[in-house]
C-alpha cells in the first residue's frame, strides 16, 4: 500500500507540475482482469517530467486495482551547454512496484522526429543503482491519420533486475482518437527474459480519458 501511494503521488505530481494527465481504464484479455494506467507529463524551462502508474486486478478480484508498478523520469535538456545539443537530455529514471526492487537509472535521452507526425526517443542508461542493470530503450510514436496513431516501446535491460538475467520489455499500441479528450486503444505488453525470447504478449483493450 505504501508503494502504491508513493507511485500515485509521483504520477500526480508529474501531472500537476506539467501539462497533461491521462487515465486509461482497460481490460487484459489474456489474464481476464481489469487494469488502469495513470500517466502524466510535460515540460518547463528546459526540464521534462514524465510518470505513470499501472494497477491491475487478479483472479479473485478482477476489478480491484492493486499490484502497482510505476516509472518516473526527469530530464534536463543540454541546450544550455551547447544550443545544438537541445535534443539530448540528462535523465534520471525511477522504476519500481510490487514484486520488484526499486531501481534508479541515470543516462541520456535523445529526442528526434523520423517522419512527419513522428516522435522518437532513444534512452541510454549506463548507470544504475544495481550492478549491471544498464538499459537501452527505444520509443517511437507515429500519426497514421488525423485520428489514428501507433507507438512502440522496446527496452533491453542488461542486468538481473527481475529475472536474474537480461530482460526485454515490449509495448505496442494502436489508438483511435474519438474526441480531443477521449480515445480507444488496443495494446500489447510483454516482459520476459531476453534469452530465447519469443513474441507472446498480453493483449489489452481500453479507453483513454485526457484531462
Domains of the chain, by residue range, sit at: 2-206
Region of poorest pLDDT, from 61-65, 114-118, 175-179: 61-65
Mean pLDDT of all residues belonging to the chain: 87
Q: What is the pTM of this model?
A: 0.85
- To 10 degrees, the CA torsion angle through 57, 99, 69, 135? -140
Could you give the CA distance from residue 156 to residue 159 in angstroms, rounded to a whole number?
9
Q: What is the mean predicted confidence (pLDDT) over 206-210? A: 96
User: pLDDT at position 21, please?
Assistant: 87
Is 2-206 a CATH 2.40.160.40 domain? yes
Name the grid cell of 144. 497514421
How far the first Cα of the chain sits from its last, in Å, is 26
Mean pLDDT of 174-196: 94
How high is the pLDDT of residue 61? 81
**CA 169 to CA 171: how far, in whole Å?**
7
Residue 109 pLDDT grade (very low, low, confident, very high; cuts 50, 70, 90): very high
* Between residues 159 and 187, the one the model is more confident about: 187
Amino acid at each position: 500500500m505504501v508503494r502504491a501511494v508513493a507511485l500515485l503521488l509521483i504520477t500526480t505530481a508529474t501531472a500537476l507540475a506539467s501539462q497533461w494527465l491521462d487515465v486509461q481504464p482497460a481490460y487484459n484479455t489474456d489474464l481476464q482482469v481489469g487494469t488502469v494506467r495513470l500517466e502524466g507529463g510535460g515540460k518547463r524551462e528546459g526540464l521534462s517530467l514524465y510518470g505513470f502508474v499501472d494497477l491491475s486486478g487478479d483472479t479473485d478480484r478482477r476489478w480491484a486495482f492493486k499490484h502497482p508498478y510505476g516509472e518516473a523520469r526527469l530530464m534536463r535538456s543540454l541546450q544550455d551547454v551547447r544550443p545544438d545539443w537541445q535534443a539530448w537530455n540528462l535523465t534520471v529514471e525511477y522504476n519500481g512496484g510490487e514484486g520488484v526492487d526499486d531501481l534508479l537509472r541515470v543516462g541520456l535521452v535523445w529526442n528526434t522526429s523520423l517522419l512527419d507526425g513522428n516522435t522518437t526517443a532513444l534512452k541510454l542508461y549506463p548507470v544504475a543503482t544495481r550492478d549491471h542493470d544498464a538499459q537501452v530503450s527505444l520509443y517511437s510514436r507515429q500519426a497514421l491519420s488525423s485520428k489514428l496513431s501507433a507507438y512502440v516501446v522496446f527496452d533491453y535491460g542488461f542486468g538481473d533486475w527481475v529475472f536474474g538475467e537480461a530482460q526485454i520489455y515490449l509495448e505496442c499500441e494502436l489508438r483511435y482518437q474519438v474526441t480531443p479528450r477521449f480515445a480507444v486503444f488496443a495494446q500489447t505488453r510483454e516482459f520476459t527474459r531476453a534469452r530465447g525470447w519469443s513474441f507472446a504478449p498480453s493483449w489489452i483493450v481500453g479507453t483513454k480519458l485526457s484531462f
